[in-house]
Amino acid sequence: MFFRSITFFRFPAGLDLAGLDAALRSCWLKPVGHLELASSGFVSPLGRGYDDATVRCGDAVWLTVGGEEKVLPPAAIDKVLNERLEALYAQHGRRPGGRARAQLRETIVHELLPRAMVKPTRLDAYLDLRCGFLAVDSGSRRAAEELVSTLRGALGHFPALPLNAEVAPRSILTGWVAGEPLPAGWTLGEDCNLQDAADGGSAVKCYRIDLLSDEVAEHLRAGRQATRLALVQADRVAFDLDESLVVRKLRFLDGALDVLADAEQDGLRAEIDARFALMSGEVRGLFLTMQTALKLSAMEP
């Protein structure tokens, strides 16, 4: 259940979320209807067979938005549409115009919906009530904002905003590649993306290379700036941080996973709780370091 990417949002620390579980249950996922394309709602983070609205570890609260989507391949719709058009041509000697074709296509979609395959989806997130942030397991800003909107709809009020930095993040990332001190406990990885400062300028992707090497320094002297940078936190978590403040390729290293190996866990639920405790603790440390190092704007209470 470890997150692989994180899009952060801030909300006022100390926000009263006492009715969270009840609010999520009021917007629980319902099966997609015969004539619906999709449905969404909250589900248990623990998966099927569980009815827990949230999983909690101290001030960290894990929640999940689930969905069901009908799978209708465009090729299947086009096949039926072409057959209908050919039949109409054979009957009337002409094919329908654009508006009629669109209406016919819509009719075919409604006919096929009851027989379509249903694909389940889920998107995980967790609230840190102590530090006032929401971490969504997605590198897509759009998907993350949809989850925030769903949560806001359930609660009626949820003042969450995307992260905003007081200094351009690429200037800070570039400084680290140029040799400026990193935050305590952070070290450089071996990958980065460099881009010319001019709009539409050239871009270079560096993989498995010493980022303090002369080769990378030459790109910096040419005016390129870091837009994405691989980093390691305390030999426990590796990740890529990009200029949009999204964390990507999040990986938990042996330094963190050894804690799970050494712990005695009684059953699947205990293992899940232990993993969530580990992840939420590491991500909290990551966020707090980002908050200082990247000069994140404060959230008004």
Q: HEC string of 29-51?
A: CCCCCCCCCEEEEEECCCCCCCC
When pLDDT is averaged across residues 94-120 and rounded to a whole number, the result is 83
In angstroms, the CA 52 to CA 27 distance is 14
Number of domains in the chain: 3
pTM score of the predicted model: 0.87
With a pLDDT cut of 90, the percent of the chain lying above it is: 65
CA distances, 35 to each of 69, 73, 112, 221, 223 (Å): 11, 16, 9, 59, 55
Residue 217 backbone zone (phi > 0: left; psi -120 to 50: alpha; other: beta): alpha
What is the average pLDDT value for the chain, to the nearest integer? 91
Do 110 and 91 sit in the same domain of this protein? yes
3-state secondary structure of 208: coil
pLDDT for 202: 85
Best mean pLDDT range from 200-204, 210-214, 265-269: 210-214
Do 64 and 143 sit in the same domain of this protein? yes
Do 17 and 156 sit in the same domain of this protein? yes
Do 31 and 85 sit in the same domain of this protein? no
pLDDT for 249: 97
Do 82 and 218 sit in the same domain of this protein? no
Query: Angle between the 214-221 and 169-177 helix axes, to the nearest 10 degrees?
Result: 140
When pLDDT is averaged across residues 166-183 and rounded to a whole number, the result is 95
Q: Is residue 2 part of a domain?
A: no
Do 123 and 60 sit in the same domain of this protein? yes
Q: Indicate the residue among 128, 143, 162 that finishes a domain.
A: 162
When pLDDT is averaged across residues 137-148 and rounded to a whole number, the result is 96
Do 59 and 143 sit in the same domain of this protein? yes
Do 22 and 88 sit in the same domain of this protein? no
When pLDDT is averaged across residues 47-72 and rounded to a whole number, the result is 92
Q: Indicate the residue among 162, 197, 228 that finishes a domain.
A: 162
Do 264 and 277 sit in the same domain of this protein? yes
Can you give the residue range of the structural domain that contains 257?
A: 169-293
